[in-house]
């Protein structure tokens, strides 16, 4: 029976990312909850230097929100052989292993919702004449949970880098400072802190979260497109409370895209959890809602 400890790490990372983004937004308003928007013509026409900085940075990136993408639906094809090999250290796994052959008959559909609530459909083949045994049922359940958690986790930590929310639209409640290499943007609320590091070209280099003793560092990379910078990879360093830095979980993700009605949608997701497993997915037969 294969075990996949990465699932809980992915779920934790996804939850932290979502929570910290929400906290950063709340922090922007918590500093002055009674304040009302500026009403004078002068203040409306004179944004602060920090607001101007954020506006310049925001324009650099592709944003699904600005483009109007609401959701997408894709068929998903996991690389089952790589998943089994990476999880079964020093155990030879054949390409035509009966478990892999059976898993390839499962229909998997990702409903990717950019505003949250993504779901994964898992539909095994209907064959009442050949019921599966208990061991196979447990294997199916394990692979179902791993696939579901991996894809939902991916959606939650990928979305902030493509929907435009990684760069705030207002500097209110944020601390923005000039550094030798660019700028930092910092927000904190109720024991949670978020720090973003931008280089001199306003390209996001790091996205760091500290909450309840948990530290998460994201290092994204972007590729230029005609519609703006699009995240195509990131490295995540997850250090739970009480864990030494050299024992932290390291995750590397690479994304290849396809264009569906002009919207960039993931075509391949390659996810490697150091010392745990490799999870690669191909997405096709996609449709979009906008």
Is pLDDT of 212 > 90? no
Q: What pLDDT is stored for residue 6 in this prediction?
A: 34
Burial bucket for residue 89 (CB in 10 Å: 0-12, 13-18, 19+):
exposed
**Which among 74-83, 97-106, 137-146 has the top mean pLDDT?**
74-83
Task: Report how far residue 210's alpha carbon sits from residue 183's, in angstroms, rounded to the nearest whole number.
Answer: 19
pLDDT for 2 = 40
Q: Is residue 228 situated within a structural domain?
A: yes
Q: Would you say residue 54 lies in a domain?
A: yes
Assess if residue 58 is contained within a domain. Answer: yes
Residue 18 neighbours by CB under 8 Å, 6+ apart: 116, 156
Per the model's pLDDT, the better-predicted residue between 271 and 169 turns out to be 271
Q: Residue 5: inside a domain, yes or no?
A: no
| 34 domain residue, yes or no | no
- Domains held by the chain: number: 1
Please state the length of the chain.
290
User: What is the pLDDT at residue 130?
Assistant: 66
- 9 found inside a domain: no
Q: Is the per-residue pLDDT at 35 higher than 60?
A: no
Which of these ranges, 35-44, 113-122, 204-213, 266-275, has the smallest mean pLDDT? 35-44
In a domain, 174, yes or no: yes
Secondary structure element (H or E) that encloses residue 215, with its range? strand 214-223
pLDDT bin (cut points 50, 70, 90) of residue 107 is very high
In 114-203, where do the E strands start and end? 119-123, 175-178, 182-189, 192-199
Q: Which of 6, 2, 56 is nearest to 183 (CA)?
A: 56
Confidence of residue 137 (pLDDT cuts 50, 70, 90): confident
**Residue 140, in any domain of the structure:** yes
Chain-wide mean pLDDT for the chain? Answer: 82
Structural domain boundaries enclosing 214:
14-28+48-289
Report pTM: 0.80
């Amino acid at each position: 029976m294969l075990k996949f400890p990465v699932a809980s790490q992915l779920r934790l990372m996804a939850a932290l990312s979502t929570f910290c983004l929400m906290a950063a937004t709340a922090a922007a308003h918590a500093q002055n909850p009674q304040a009302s928007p500026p009403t004078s013509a002068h203040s409306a026409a004179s944004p602060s230097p920090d607001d101007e900085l954020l506006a310049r940075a925001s324009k650099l990136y592709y944003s699904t929100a600005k483009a109007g993408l609401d959701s997408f639906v894709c068929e998903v094809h996991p690389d089952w052989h790589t998943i089994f090999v990476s999880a079964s250290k020093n155990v030879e796994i054949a390409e035509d292993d009966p478990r892999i052959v059976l898993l390839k008959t499962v229909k998997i559909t990702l409903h990717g919702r950019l505003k949250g609530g993504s779901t994964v459909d898992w539909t095994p083949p209907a064959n009442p004449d050949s019921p599966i045994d208990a061991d196979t049922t447990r294997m199916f359940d394990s692979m179902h949970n791993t696939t579901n958690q991996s894809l939902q986790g991916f959606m939650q930590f990928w979305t902030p880098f493509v929907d435009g929310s990684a760069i705030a639209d207002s500097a209110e409640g944020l601390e923005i400072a000039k550094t030798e290499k660019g700028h930092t943007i910092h927000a904190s609320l109720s024991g949670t802190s978020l720090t973003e590091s931008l280089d001199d070209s306003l390209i996001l280099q790091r996205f760091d979260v500290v909450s309840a003793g948990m530290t998460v560092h994201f290092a994204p990379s972007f590729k230029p497109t005609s519609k703006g910078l699009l995240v195509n990879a990131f490295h995540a360093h997850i250090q739970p409370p009480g864990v030494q830095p050299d024992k932290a979980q390291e995750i590397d993700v690479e994304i290849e895209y396809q264009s569906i009605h002009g919207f960039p949608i993931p075509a391949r997701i390659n996810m490697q959890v150091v010392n745990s497993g490799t999870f690669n997915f191909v997405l096709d037969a996609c449709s979009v809602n906008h």
